[in-house]
Structure 1
Amino acid sequence: MAGLFITFEGGEGAGKSTQIRRLAAHLESQGIDVLVTREPGGSPGAEAVRHVILSGAAEAFGPAMEAVLFAAARNDHVEQVIRPALAAGKTVLCDRFIDSGRVYQGVTGSLDPFLMEALERVAIDGTMPDLTLILDLPAKKGLARAMKRRGEEAPDRFEKETLGLHEARREAYLAIAATEPERCRVVEADRTEKEVSAEIITIVDTLLETRRRPA
């Protein structure tokens, strides 16, 4: 069976990393070969760009420059990591992908949608997720979780932004899910880790079963 590409999206503190770990453990227990990765990052070249972006070093150059950097990192990630893994039949679980670009740079960065579409097209070159799980959580609760998680560390480039901007991103994610229901599933993240995990596992197991059925 061909590889499966699943992306996790959502605002700050939505619990993506935790749920990816839980899903990976579940799939591996069934003998499925899993690759866990993230954006920005995931490949050596993309990890270097990640540091530039999250440190805020590119912020002064504006959202268009950040979007170009994200696209460059994503292309390297796709070509060096994601596409080879899928070709080898692996299930790839990725923490953020194209929808983060659409939301963080396209919507809240107020960039030209034609620019965003062009950057996305070049960056992924047809490598689209089979399933995108959007973890939905009120922005205020998500930011509180993120603050607790980082402890004494300073907030990164995006965590430090206003509550209103974070809530706008939440609405943008929900709008994407409404526009692409065949790819996106919204998962209510304001529950226990176990409850959220159970729903995600059900969604993914159902997808796997569908893919195993004869055409």
Structure 2
Amino acid sequence: MYQFNFQPVLANLDLLIHGAWLTVKLSLMAMMLGLIVSVLGAVAKTSGIRPLRWVADIYVEVIRNTPFLVQIFFIFFGLPAAGISLSPNVAALVALVVNVGAYGTEIIRTGIESIPRGQVEAGRALGLSPVQIFRYVIMVPALRNIYPSLTSQFIYLMLTSSVVSVISANDLAAAGADLSARTFANFEIYLVLTIMYFLLALGFSTLFAGIRRIFFSYPASR
């Protein structure tokens, strides 16, 4: 019978906690920067400027139809051939932002296109500036509509971040792999990693639910 041995995990728990903290930081930065990229991409796709739409379409299609692992390898191993060298953590962040930006672009585009044209015309009739119309009439209702889908994509991003360990980025998965190679307690280590990723996902879900109650529930209930 298999003898469980969690002693290597307990003895190196600080290493796993540090990796989890780096995963949280990496994920939060990728979410914030990815949201900016998503909004810009969605604006480009819904604009009347054809070249902008073409660029956004190409970006979204390329990223959504290629493996995330290949994207990471291209950024970390391919870009140095063009004179652009990035550290593992920076390359991981860039890859995550580029990836989530493409998926977020389509989500936000759907939200923007769900806003009735009449609301935009009403904003113009009230004398709102184009920036005010975009912010209050389009983006706020659009984000309210697509908030669950967008936050689900962000949680998936956090879970996907485990892939960046292949380029030695210092995340939770990399910490687990390093500990496994040194102690050979594979079952116990990856069981603990599974639990930790589950708790991280649960934490992000709780955070996003709180943000939704603060920023979106009240206007929707009026």
Larger Cα-atom Rg: 2
TM-score normalised to structure 2 length: 0.28
TM-score normalised to structure 1 length: 0.29
- Pick the structure with more strand per residue: 1
